[in-house]
């Protein structure tokens, strides 16, 4: 068994279909094949953490509503699983995920980096808030944080949402974390014991 990404599947399937002459067989194959469905937020961390892929995994999607309060409450609902030796891994890019800014080069400017630092400070303070209810309240207002729309454009919070679920699953525990540099931006990783 191995974790297979949608991208890997789609590229190999596309190559297969494009390299064969258009005929009934290639059309039948394309209709019969279905992707395995692992999102990159699942298969990348799990490939790094446990490449043997011998553990059961349940993949969950973020909520279409993108409601931070609902996501936090989802994490709370999952929290009792921690007492049953279940790891709750919420993978995203909460510190920043703005493809337009990356592609245009804006993300490498000093003004964008300053905005990202201001955003990251507000986010870090909210995530490390003492007490689950206070943390829920602050994360519920994350769109009021400085530069929130620069870091996660309107309607595109799917890389931020997993952090809110993790914060809810963390209960009243205090978050720990560390910062990594990624293309000159400070990217935070958080955990709850």
CA distance 193 to 174: 8
CA distance 39 to 5: 7
- pTM exceeds 0.75, yes or no: yes
The per-residue pLDDT for 29 is 53
Stretch 26-47: mean pLDDT: 65
For residues 13 and 168, which has the higher predicted lDDT (pLDDT)? 168
Cα R_g (the chain), whole angstroms: 19
**Average pLDDT value for the chain:** 82
Is the sign of the CA dihedral 151, 157, 159, 161 positive or negative?
positive
Which residues sit opposite 182 in a β-bridge?
Answer: 185
In angstroms, the first-to-last Cα distance of the chain is 30
């Amino acid at each position: 068994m191995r974790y297979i990404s949608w991208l890997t599947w789609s590229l190999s399937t596309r190559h297969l279909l494009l390299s064969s002459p258009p005929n009934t067989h290639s059309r039948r194959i394309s209709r019969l094949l279905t992707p395995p469905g692992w999102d990159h937020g699942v298969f990348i961390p799990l490939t790094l953490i446990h490449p043997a892929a011998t553990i059961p995994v349940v993949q969950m999607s973020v909520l279409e509503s993108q409601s931070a309060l609902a996501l936090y409450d989802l994490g709370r609902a999952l929290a009792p699983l921690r007492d049953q030796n279940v790891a709750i891994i919420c993978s995203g890019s909460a510190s920043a995920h703005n493809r337009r800014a990356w592609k245009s080069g804006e993300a490498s400017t000093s003004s964008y980096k300053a905005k990202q630092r201001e955003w990251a400070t507000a986010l870090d303070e909210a995530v490390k808030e003492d007490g689950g209810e206070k943390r829920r309240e602050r994360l519920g207002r994350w769109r009021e944080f400085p530069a929130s729309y620069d870091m996660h454009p309107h309607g595109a919070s799917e890389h931020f949402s997993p952090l809110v679920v993790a914060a809810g699953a963390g209960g009243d525990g205090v978050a720990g974390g560390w910062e990594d540099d990624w293309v000159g931006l400070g990217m935070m990783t958080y955990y709850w014991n």
